[in-house]
Chain A
């Protein structure tokens, strides 16, 4: 029983990270219909920049803030330099562009940060907390808490603020949003900035647990995508549910089946969703116009 609880706890921890990555996918997808395969690189950059800013002498909170802001800026740059010039390009081109951007970022990270594995200390110590025979790291609470704060904050942003509603309106119908005077390019920029920032924050929170290296991004991107797809592409609630399910299934796979194949859980989910429910748990089927 305590074993099951243990797996659940670690599953929810990584699941919270996947949910944040899935949320990043969702935001960019809603704003621009682009699936941004570089989403995982934002997570890597969040952890990596924090490591180096911290090593350069910045206190941890400042280092983390630097990482989030710098990554958000990079997200904006990516939108301006790679996505906007290709507006209207077919899906195949957009896939190639975002994959290209992710490889580029990874290659740059390898040059700048090296190939080693990096880490920085946990925020509130490393002493595990005991719950009903299972243990949880204080850092896990930071991860879960951080995800809760972001999801609640975004929900408030989208439902309570004018800007948030403008973003929602753009995702519903870009042309109509333009006609009522919404600055849709700004909405695009904002979506990239926010989704890169959220990804980076996820990286900051999880790095003391999972450590980081220049090539961890792809795994985060895939699992975040699996989560987004499971929940229904473009649906923030779905991103949360999907992330937690992927995380827990992964932890169960590692615990009960094989730790070598824990990464396979996400792909099995992708295939299962594609076979049985392509629109995801919360998505609706759409009709094409001719």
Chain B
């Protein structure tokens, strides 16, 4: 059963084809990884899927609905959420508040009851806080709950972003380099976490440079080079594909 399908997605920046005619699909419980050398268009692809960029061509279909170029906040309502390669944490808010922000769709009601602190608003805030604390515990961040998010280490911030995204209880979760900058222990934690999220029935889309991680947890891999899909399949198939080896050895000699 396909939950998310990407159909011939493409975009040009100033006449250069950053991404061209990429198609693949993801089902609940799957981890689909998008790999490729630097500049292959992975993040651009994510930006199109998540509504940050308007695709020049192609469609994004979520649960049977065409959601191409839909604003991210409407995608969130339909169950899609993402994290960012370059960290988009709410720096001046506390760690706890960051995660509560992920509960926005469940928590928000009318402004007037927020201004007057009516019981309904208080109840909503209390529920969101309880949910957020639970998520912080799951991600091992509970002791940092009251700290300003900007003071956290890079690895913790990565986890904080994942916690915030999980708060939405998404059906599709896009993770853009969740393990970048993390040490071996942290990477392993993230490994387990992703597996756990997928096992709960979420379709996970992953961009990641750590090939060991990718090969271990992906159910399906899509390989991009120069904005085009050059291969796809399960990890074993993809790792033997000559086009993939060429793409990595040819373009990215800082190979992992």
Contact = CB atoms under 8 A, between A and B. Distances in A.
Interface of A: 287-288, 290
Contacts of B53: 287
Given A290-B52, A290-B84, 7 more contacts: A287-B13, A287-B53, A288-B52, A290-B43, A290-B47, A290-B86, A290-B88
Contacts of B84: 290
Interface string B90-132: 0000000000000000000000000000000000000000000
Contacts, number: 9
A287 B84 CA distance: 17
Interface of B: 13, 43, 47, 52-53, 84, 86, 88
A290 B86 CA distance: 7
Contacts of A287: 13, 53
A290 B88 CA distance: 9
A173 to B, nearest CB: 13
A150 to B, nearest CB: 31
Nearest to A287: B53
9 contacts: A287-B13, A287-B53, A288-B52, A290-B43, A290-B47, A290-B52, A290-B84, A290-B86, A290-B88
B165 to A, nearest CB: 15
9 smallest beta-carbon distances between A and B, as pairs: A290-B52, A290-B47, A290-B84, A287-B53, A290-B86, A290-B88, A287-B13, A290-B43, A288-B52
A288 B43 CA distance: 13
A288 B13 CA distance: 12
B115 to A, nearest CB: 23
Nearest to B13: A287
A290 B43 CA distance: 9
Contacts of A288: 52
A287 B52 CA distance: 9
Contacts of A290: 43, 47, 52, 84, 86, 88
A89 to B, nearest CB: 15
Nearest to B85: A290
A287 B48 CA distance: 12
A290 B87 CA distance: 9
B49 to A, nearest CB: 13
Contacts of B47: 290
B111 to A, nearest CB: 22
Nearest to B176: A290
Nearest to B53: A287
B51 to A, nearest CB: 11
Contacts of B13: 287
